[in-house]
Structure 1
Amino acid sequence: MYMRFISLLLVSMLSIGAHATPPKEIFWEDLIPKGHVQVSNQDAASHEGTDQNWVQPNLDAPVVKSLDGQSVSLPGFVVPLEGDSQMISEFLLVPYFGACVHVPPPPPNQIVHVKIKGGVPIESLYDAITVTGVIKVESWQGELAQTGYTMQAVGVAPFEL
């Protein structure tokens, strides 16, 4: 399993190296337009009570249109959507562990729907990763959440400070 991860990481690095410019390193606050005050629902999140606690807030959360089509790298946590116990090929990238599963989903501008051709092994869902690929400003909707961004990933690596 470890060797497969290293192989995928090397292939990802080679494909990234083929581009003229390295991917732009972005963070979650970069997905929110400057001047927009993002309201967090996490303070009120609860596992008790009504289903309303699990409703995704701010479905009209604004996105940063200038990111569309850029090659970027973004750290976050995985919420698997497609794959098996060995490889995942589709997932939600979220800013904190448990988003969309243990607590209500963040606003759409804080979730990225990611697809990676051929899949990638994820050792632990508790560990942060960095995803590299081309980000698109487009909505995606699934059972767990609605997103404001999608990404066709070319690489996934463990997050490093």
Structure 2
Amino acid sequence: MLNRRNTLMLMSAAAITPKTAFAAEAREITWDDLLPPGLPYSEIIGEGETNEANDTWNPIYDANAIKLNEDLNGTYIKMPGFIIPFDVSAEGVTNFMLVPYVGACLHTPPPPANQLVMVNATEPWPGDKLWDPVWVTGTMRTQLQSTKLGQTGYSVSADDMEVYVW
């Protein structure tokens, strides 16, 4: 039976316990998990147009490119990727696009929306580590957004980031 003294002791212990002790375990996901169940990756690319003069290929995505995995909405996740920054300050970058491979959106046409993630980090990621692969941990939302670099299908409020090491 809890008396007043025991109750106060429990409340005091909870107040000084590190918040990580109460943190939810992040679900580790891959880029394939961003596709709705049953939709193979081969069905999101679609056709494309080749510009031989400029040696480029521009994909033409169909409706499968904006189909999202709604099971991930509100899920606390951890996923790897590469950073495409929107703004870099002296402290680093807090708003960026997470992409599945180096140079996505910059040197090639952007991947489909269901393979791009908008990230808003609570702590800036250092500007000298922008080319490093990263783990991003936070709450994911399914949300189509248009940016100057491409349409994204997901967003993450990141509360933790670290260098990805395989």
Aligned to 2:30: 27
Alignment of 1:139 with 2:144, yes or no, is: yes
Alignment RMSD (CA, Å): 2.8
Q: Read off the aligned partner of 2:26 and give its amino acid letter.
A: P
- SS at 2:111 equivalent: coil
Secondary structure in structure 1 of the residue aligned to 2:128: coil
CA contact (8 A) 2:49 2:59 kept: no
Q: Work out which of the residue numbers 122, 126, 130 in structure 1 matches 2:131.
A: 126
Check the 8 A contact 2:142/2:155 in 1, yes or no: yes
Aligned pairs, how many?
A: 145
Closer/same/farther in 2, CA of residues 83 and 46 from structure 1, 3 Å limit:
farther
1:54-73 correspondence to structure 2 within 5 Å: 54=58, 57-58=61-62, 60-73=65-78
1:19-70 C-alpha deviation (Å, 9 max, x unpaired): 44211111100101122122465xx798964698456734643110010011
Aligned to 2:104: 99
Q: Which amino acid aligns with 2:68?
A: V
Percent identity, aligned pairs only, is 32
Stretches of structure 1 that go unaligned for 5 or more consecutive residues are 1-13
Residue of structure 2 aligned with 1:87, choices 87, 92, 96 = 92
Structure 2 residue runs without a partner (length 5+): 1-17
Relative to total residues, which structure has the larger strand share, 1 or 2? 2
**Which protein shows a greater Rg?**
2
Higher RCO (C-alpha under 8 Å, 6+ residues apart):
1
TM-score computed with the length of structure 1 as normaliser? 0.77
The alignment's TM-score, normalised by the length of structure 2, stands at 0.75
Q: Which deviates more from structure 2 when the two are superposed, residues 29-38 or residues 82-91?
A: 82-91
Distance 2:22 2:52 in 1: 49
